[in-house]
Amino acid sequence: MAVVVTLLILNLTDVLRPEMALRLFLLIEVPLILVFAAITFVRFRNLGRSAGPGNANFLDRLKAEEPMVRPALSEIRSMWSLCLAIARRRRVPPGSAPFGYTRGTFAMPAVMLALCLGELVVVHFIVPWQWLRIVLLVLTVWGALFIFGFFAARRVHPHFVSTGALHLRWGYKNVLTTPTSNILSVEPHANHTHAHPFAEGSQLVLTQFQSTNVRIRLAAPVPADPPVAKKDAIAGFKASEVLLYVDDPDAFVNALTPHGAHGTGSDQKARPAYD
């Protein structure tokens, strides 16, 4: 970038002719771009071969290793999640039982879409330049799609129960995984204290705009990655109790309870989920 600015200044001040400035640019910048591309390719290849902590996928490892690409990765994931949601596809392993947690959360993106449409109408009458209208239209449509994709990520990445394990997710983030044998109790349980993801002590809350409706108690604390702001993150957090919202709490509890036996409310004693 510094080279480009320097050459531009020299050209504008008539120190260098345009042809000479272009030659210097090609002579200096092109080799640097090729070297950067080669280094990036090697880094990505090594990153793809490494297993990463907790068997994290390639995009998660890339996000951790390359902070500069995080915004682009978020956009790619949001758009891909939106495509999967439109196709009604869920990212769960074969044979697993998925459990959604997004019912009632799409009111906000719907409101945002209405505001975007209103903004477009206002822009059409206020902005006199056609090219600027087009730019603002593209940005508005992109913003609306990004918001819908952000929420769609949770729809296509539900919680799921596989053979011998419970997996709790928040969008494409794997929040907690525990063997079903570690589940001490599970029951329908209404809690209205939190309406957003929260972590404190050994308690983990997973909900958005809803009260939680299920409580899980674990025999041994399990490492978890709460979907909270970085300033609220707890290093080395382990959860022994999880309060969460699921779209179908009865089916979720039954999936984690042998023979369908479980508590029926927050005031009833939770029965052991596994002996």
pLDDT for position 273: 37
pLDDT computed for residue 35 by the predictor: 73
Q: Is the pLDDT of residue 66 over 80?
A: no
Question: Worst-scoring range by mean pLDDT, 2-11, 57-66, 161-170?
Answer: 57-66
User: Which residues does 72 contact at the CB level (< 8 Å), separation at least 6?
Assistant: none
How many angstroms separate the CA atoms of 12 and 7, rounded? Answer: 9
Q: What is the pLDDT of residue 11?
A: 62
Instruction: Report the pLDDT value the prediction gives residue 214, as an integer from 0 to 100.
Output: 93
Q: Answer whether 234's CB lies under 8 Å from 225's CB.
A: no
pTM for the structure as a whole = 0.66
Statement: residue 269 has pLDDT above 80: no
Mean pLDDT of 150-165: 89
Where is pLDDT greater, at 39 or 76? 76
Better-scored residue on pLDDT, 69 or 254: 254
Query: Which H or E run contains 37?
Result: helix 18-49
Closest by CA to 178, choosing from 227, 234, 242, 233, is 242
Question: pLDDT, tens digit, for every residue of 108-124?
Answer: 777 777 877 787 777 77
DSSP 175: E
Residue type, 270: A
Q: Could you say which DSSP state residue 245 is in?
A: -
Average pLDDT for 185-212 = 88
- Residue 271 predicted with pLDDT over 90: no
- pLDDT value at residue 234: 84
Residue of 13 and 86 predicted with greater confidence: 86
pLDDT at 272 over 50: no
Q: Please report where in the chains the tokens 């320097």 appear, as a residue.
A: 6
**What's the farthest any 2 CA atoms get from each other in the chain?**
85
Is residue 175 a contact partner of residue 158, using CB atoms and an 8 Å limit?
A: no
Each residue's pLDDT tens digit, 1-53: 555 566 566 666 666 677 776 777 677 767 777 776 676 566 556 645 555 44
